[in-house]
Amino acid sequence: MSSSDPTNFDEMHGPDGSIRSAYRGYNAWLEEQDKSWMRRKGAEAESFFRRTGITFNVYGEQDAEERLIPFDMVPRVVTGGEWRRLSRGIEQRVRALNAFMHDLYHRQEIIRSGRLPERLFRDNSAWLPQMVGFTPPGGVYTHIVGIDLVRTGPDEFLVLEDNARTPSGVSYMLENRETMMAMFPELFTRVKVQSVSNYPRRLAASLAASAPASAGSTPSIAVLTPGIYNSAYFEHAFLADKMGAELVEGSDLRIVDGKVQMRTTDGYRPIDVLYRRVDDDFLDPLTFNPDSVLGIPGIMDVYRAGNITIANAPGTGVADDKAIYSFMPEIVEFYTGEKALLPNVETWRCADPDSLKYVLDNLEELVVKEVHGSGGYGMLIGPTSSKKEIRKFREKLLEKPENYIAQPTLSLSTCPIFTRDGLAPRHVDLRPFVLCSPDGVDITPGGLTRVALKKGSLVVNSSQGGGTKDTWVLDD
């Protein structure tokens, strides 16, 4: 059995080797299992994923066109009580995000009040002047949000990142659970876990509730994908399939009679809600990127006329910006009148000279990220970088300090993974998925747990060798 490293919080094993309460049920089951049988099960999981085609594509890798994200079969367990506390914080944050979006594209009270510097969004390429003064159907901007959380102690969850643009990974939440249930059916009779399987139904309901007033009683929903070569194509097809919605590409759509319509075998049919998984830039070549072949010419006019819901609303990517992130505690307080229940990770904005000086002096201790970056690319992890890497990064940083923020290297919590030699602790994060509609905020009890498979590594991104785990919220 594993012993946990005393310098960070392990979610399964206490410092004295005892089993923390969330994992007691799982541990009791595990101790009864034969070790070589468990090893065989590990191999089974991989063939299961390959057969069902749950893959992701890595940009820039030619041979490995479709790769599997490794799956670890030790669940990540959260108690019902922990989850309830967490949910309150998530809901508060998502409501604030939505109010913030509305304000940014309307009166901009938060800027007038001096709480947020104007340049933050003026310099932000995700900011869309086309959205100014326009309110999306139902007033909802962020229909689907993924909040990335890290844990540093029994009661300490921190927000690492907000994904308000097009969060991905929810198919892994669902398929990881299916895999676990197929592999260890009896485990689920022993430990009561809250179900995640109705997420697609909740998503469909949430999208339908956000339909424009012009839609009938059963709005027509479609998922817009860039196509089969996109890294998340599997998820797009998966969600369309589970929702019973059409999976469309730009070339299937056209504006007919002031509505966005799709080319069916029986002529053009209107769409009321478009769950788009393409970036703003590729949405409408008439309004945004004129070279895009992915988009639908004229869709923004239909949108502004109130004849379609686009989820998430164009321009919500502003909130994914890491400089905006650093202001989230102020943003939450400004729109909800309450202190943020979920704290941010301490963040230095390199645009600010004092912070920059501190960051430069402490590069080998810090994690430095690009403000607009994502996927773990273009970042520096001080403690694991060589002197040379740090020197090169310092030059980049000095060139455009406003492009960077820095955070302390957190002692992220660990959760055991299954290795040939038994359980071994690895660092994890958590992305719960949150749905917003005029009917309210809906959080599915679970999420995507990403795990760094390399010993000691803090990088959990799937594009950089991270894996995933099934995330359990106990029904207690």
Instruction: Return the sign of the alpha-carbon dihedral for residues 49, 54, 59, 65.
Output: positive
328, burial (CB in 10 Å: exposed 0-12, middle 13-18, buried 19+)? buried
Contact at 8 Å (CB) between 335 and 103? yes
Q: Which of 109, 249, 330, 439 touches other proteins by CB under 8 A?
A: 249
Q: Look at the block and give the residue holding tokens 């749950």.
A: 54
Binding mask 21-50 for other proteins (x = CB under 8 A): -----------------------------x
396 binds other proteins, rule: CB under 8 A = no
**Residue 398 structure tokens:** 């000095």
Give the nearer residue to other proteins in terms of CB position, either 150 or 262: 262
Give the nearer residue to other proteins in terms of CB position, either 245 or 380: 245
Q: What is the nearest approach in angstroms of other proteins to the Cβ of residue 200? A: 12
Helices 80-104 + 328-336 axis angle, to 10: 80
- Kindly state the DSSP code that residue 305 receives in the 8-state scheme: T
301 binds other proteins, rule: CB under 8 A = no
Over its C-alpha atoms, the chain yields an Rg (Å, rounded) of: 23
Count residues binding other proteins (CB under 8 A).
26
181 binds other proteins, rule: CB under 8 A = no
Q: Which of 246, 364, 439, 476 touches other proteins by CB under 8 A?
A: 246
Q: Which of 240, 359, 366, 460 touches other proteins by CB under 8 A?
A: 240
Q: Identify which range of 193-201, 246-254, 350-358, 423-431 contacts other proteins by CB under 8 A.
A: 246-254
265 binds other proteins, rule: CB under 8 A = yes
Q: Which of 267, 337, 354, 388 touches other proteins by CB under 8 A?
A: 267
Q: Identify which range of 95-103, 166-174, 247-255, 452-460 contacts other proteins by CB under 8 A.
A: 247-255
Instruction: Return the sign of the alpha-carbon dihedral for residues 421, 169, 160, 19.
Output: negative
Nearest residue to 308 (alpha-carbon basis) of 219, 206, 217 = 219
Distance CA 256, CA 264 (A): 13
Q: Identify which range of 18-26, 87-95, 142-150, 243-251 contacts other proteins by CB under 8 A.
A: 243-251
Q: What is the nearest approach in angstroms of other proteins to the Cβ of residue 276? A: 16
Give the nearer residue to other proteins in terms of CB position, either 123 or 246: 246
Contact at 8 Å (CB) between 138 and 206? no
CA 269 to chain CA centroid, nearest Å: 32
Full DSSP string of 375-435: TTTT-EEGGGS-HHHHHHHHHHHHH-GGGEEEEE-----EEEEEETTEEEEEEEEEE-EEE
Residue 34, SS3?
A: coil
Distance CA 359, CA 63 (A): 39
Give the nearer residue to other proteins in terms of CB position, either 247 or 428: 247
62 binds other proteins, rule: CB under 8 A = no
Binding mask 183-212 for other proteins (x = CB under 8 A): ------------------------------
Give the nearer residue to other proteins in terms of CB position, either 7 or 265: 265
Positions that interact with other proteins (CB under 8 A): 50-53, 227-228, 233-234, 237-238, 240-241, 245-249, 251-252, 254, 262-267
